Amino acid sequence: MSGFKEVDVNSLNENVFKLIGEKWMLITAGDKDKLNMMTASWGGFGVLWNKNVTFAFIRPQRYTFGLVEKNDYYTLSFYDDDKYRDELSFCGTNSGKDINKTEKISFTPAFDKAPYFKEAKLVFVCKKIYGQFILPECFIDESLGSNYPNKDYHKVFVGEIEKVLIKE
């Protein structure tokens, strides 16, 4: 597994608020021939339908969106924020529609049901089990609609965590 070991999700002691909101994550999807990743600072972890799950929010105009839609699996990966902050920033501000991001950053692709990168310190391999667009009429706090001035609502993908990989 490319220098990783598989661990039980219940053995983790990570602060997911810091991981996602401060350190950011890469959402990666595709196959061995065609992959793309995007940086995200919105998302979550939890238990839903008696399964350990992740929540990935992706706008439809993102190139990664089509790859997550097309494939059964995606990964969420986390990095040492100081060392890889530039790469994460690059992946969040450039589109795979325009360039091959894997050729522009120093990350090495790996694959386990979905692509991820060997430089990650923590990877969640997730099987899609549900997806739905955010519906503006469902906002209880209507001010949250201000996050969507172009009405390009995210689709939330719920993924069952099938594997957790930690860098050895």
Q: Tens digit of pLDDT for each residue in 98-126?
A: 888 888 888 999 999 999 999 999 999 99
Cα 83 to chain centroid, rounded: 19
In sequence order, the 6+-apart residues with CB closer than 8 A to the CB of 79 are 23, 26, 87, 88, 119, 120, 121
Q: Mean pLDDT, to the nearest integer, of 122-142?
A: 97
Q: What is the three-class DSSP state of 21?
A: helix
Tokens matching residue 101:
């991001």
Convert the pLDDT of each residue in 14-62 to its tens digit: 999 999 999 999 999 999 889 999 999 999 999 999 999 999 999 999 9
10 Å Cβ neighbour count for 131? 14
pTM, two decimal places: 0.94
Domains of the chain: 4-167 (2.30.110.10)
Tally the residues of the chain: 168
Higher pLDDT, 81 or 152: 152
